[in-house]
Amino acid sequence: MLLVLVRHGESIWNAQGRVQGHGGTGLSRRGHAQARATAEVLAYRYPDAGLLVRSDLQRVAETAAPTEARLGVEVRVDERLREIDVGTWSGLIYAEIEERDPLGFQAWSTRGDRDVRRGGGETFAELRERVWPAILELSGARGTVLVFTHGGPIRVAVASALGLPAQGETRLAGPGNCSLTLLEWRDGRHRLRAYNGVDHLRDRESSSACGHNRY
């Protein structure tokens, strides 16, 4: 079976450079265009997808909506696929975080290999603990499953699939908005087929617009 992990499109807070976590807004105008382009390519490549699973947060729901409409696929909402919780940092730009929480910001910005809790929220280890079981449950499905989620969950899912150690997700670049990452489940093992694919967006916007990796 194949898991297609889709990061949400650009949100209004992404465009403003604000850290999101469990908070945040819906999509920006660019984000809606990215979601439509992604729906087109998913419908073309995976017309027989049998299931779509998504985070419950607004920016993901709005990203998934065009694909849901095109494919008419079964949809499940799973809160475990939410972005990492950044606590009191949610809604702030980094300059505001540094001003309001200087010690926390310093610990995060100089963290090295340490797994720092952002704004009193989650660590990456805790994110793995809730995301990976959700991914494993989907491995029992047949065919193709579309998973609409966030950058943090995609990174920890890939790190777990590859057997990377704790903090191994920090070795992976943050997935771009509406990027596609493919995990294959075969012979009892997960294999990474593609990571952070954004080719389907490049005809519509410059590749530089695919960044915005605020949590």
How, if at all, do strands 189-197 and 74-77 pair? Answer: unpaired
**SS3 category, 188:** coil
Instruction: Tell how far CA 66 is from the center of its chain.
Output: 17
Exactly one of 10, 83, 122, 169 is catalytic; name it: 83
Active site residue 8: yes
DSSP string for residues in 158-170: HHHHTT--TTGGG
Residue with the two structure tokens 């998934």: 64
Exactly one of 8, 150, 200, 212 is catalytic; name it: 8
H or E element that contains 67: helix 58-71
**SS3 category, 132:** helix
Active site residue 129: no
- The three state secondary structure string of 19-51 is CCCCCCCCECHHHHHHHHHHHHHHHHHCCCCCE
Return the active site residues. Answer: 8, 83
